[in-house]
Amino acid sequence: MSAPERAASAKAVDDIVLPFAVETLSTRGRLVRLGPAIDYLLERHAYPDRVSRLVAEAVTLAALLGSTLKLEGRFQLQTKTDGAVSMLLVDFDAPSNVRALARFDKARVARAAPGEDILGRGHLAFTVDPGGDMTRYQGVVALEGQGLEAAAHHYFERSEQIPTLVRLAVGETLAPQARAWRAGGLIVQYLPDAGPGRRADFHPGDAPEGTAPHTIEEDDAWNEAQALAATTEAHELIDPTLSGERLLYRLFNERGVRVFEPSALAAVCRCSAEGVDAMLRSFPPEEVKHMVGDDGVIGVTCEFCSTKRVFNPADYGV
């Protein structure tokens, strides 16, 4: 099916990563659309709205970058800062599962003025575990009040040396009796040496402190691809009535865009009763005793999904 035909017939689909290529401009990219998955993830925590927006941006960015991994890979995005939101943590388990949490000072978030940066200064780290016998690696970029989208640009400029444009958007749909979170993201990369259909592998590196940003030689193809991608509006990335195929066609139809099979995204936590049980059994009984609550049981709540599990102290020698 041609790009125009796909764009005309496609229905809006949420919770996907949609790879694409604009081969005439030596450009590859991925589009992320998050609907029920991000709403479920955020509503489990009942964060303040401003914190929810940051978490949704972080999840979207993690999905854009982590989706290059193979079936066994794991990708983690983490911030540590001095802001009202002191930490964001997103785990992406390839090929589809994502979970996230935020740690924040509720009073500082409430006091923050509209438009004030609540993420603060610190660093943003990307950690990749490709799985199997492959080496685990990490990349770090400074956070200086510029936000996650700008930090991602700075990272690729300094460490990856791949011309890259990233767009992130978060919003809500409103109905008479309900509201729902949505998020979307776009990454576009100039890869003149990539073969048809190839997606760039994300391999965080970390240039030494003080290293000058990599200078990218101006290229007409990349300038055009970047200009076209930059016209993406935030509302287009989160519009539930606009399919990813139609959006990409709208951006790149004059140059011809190939859209590949999407992969699904889901809010799924790694936690399990078996895992918590194994953890409790690893402690000596005298330590487990201090974990018993006033109700006489051991209650363990997962920070990622807010699931609470209850265990009998007698099972652990208490």
DSSP state of 156: I
What is the pLDDT at residue 3?
Answer: 43
Confidence of residue 203 (pLDDT cuts 50, 70, 90): low
Cβ contact 272:44 at 8 Å: no
| Mean pLDDT taken over the chain | 87
Confidence of residue 9 (pLDDT cuts 50, 70, 90): very low
Confidence of residue 219 (pLDDT cuts 50, 70, 90): confident
Confidence of residue 294 (pLDDT cuts 50, 70, 90): confident
More confident residue, 160 or 289: 289
What is the pLDDT at residue 303?
Answer: 87
Q: Over the stretch 239-269, which tens digit does the pLDDT of each residue have? A: 999 999 999 999 999 999 999 999 999 999 9
Cβ contact 204:139 at 8 Å: yes
What Cα–Cα distance (Å) separates residue 258 from each residue in 102, 114, 193, 234? 36, 40, 17, 22
What is the pLDDT at residue 200?
Answer: 46
- Give the mean model confidence (pLDDT) for residues 140-167: 89
What is the pLDDT at residue 204?
Answer: 53
What is the pLDDT at residue 197?
Answer: 40
Alpha-carbon gap, residue 38 to 13, rounded angstroms: 14
Q: Over the stretch 61-120, which tens digit does the pLDDT of each residue have? A: 999 999 988 777 899 999 999 999 999 999 999 989 999 999 999 999 999 999 899 999
- Give the mean model confidence (pLDDT) for residues 158-162: 76
- Give the mean model confidence (pLDDT) for residues 34-61: 95
Confidence of residue 210 (pLDDT cuts 50, 70, 90): low
Alpha-carbon gap, residue 116 to 135, rounded angstroms: 39
What is the pLDDT at residue 160?
Answer: 66
DSSP state of 298: E
Of 261, 303, 230, which Cα lies nearest the Cα of 67?
Answer: 261
User: Which pTM was predicted?
Assistant: 0.85
- Sequence-distant (6+) residues with CB within 8 A of 241 are 12
What is the pLDDT at residue 195?
Answer: 47
In the chain, % of residues over pLDDT 90: 61
What is the pLDDT at residue 11?
Answer: 53
**Residue ranges with strand state E in 3-154:** 16-22, 27-34, 74-81, 85-93, 97-104, 121-129, 137-144
Q: Would you call 14 helix, strand, or coil by DSSP? A: coil
Of 181, 32, 183, 38, which Cα lies nearest the Cα of 100?
Answer: 38
All domains in the chain, ordered by first residue: 14-267 (3.55.30.10), 273-316 (3.90.1280.10)
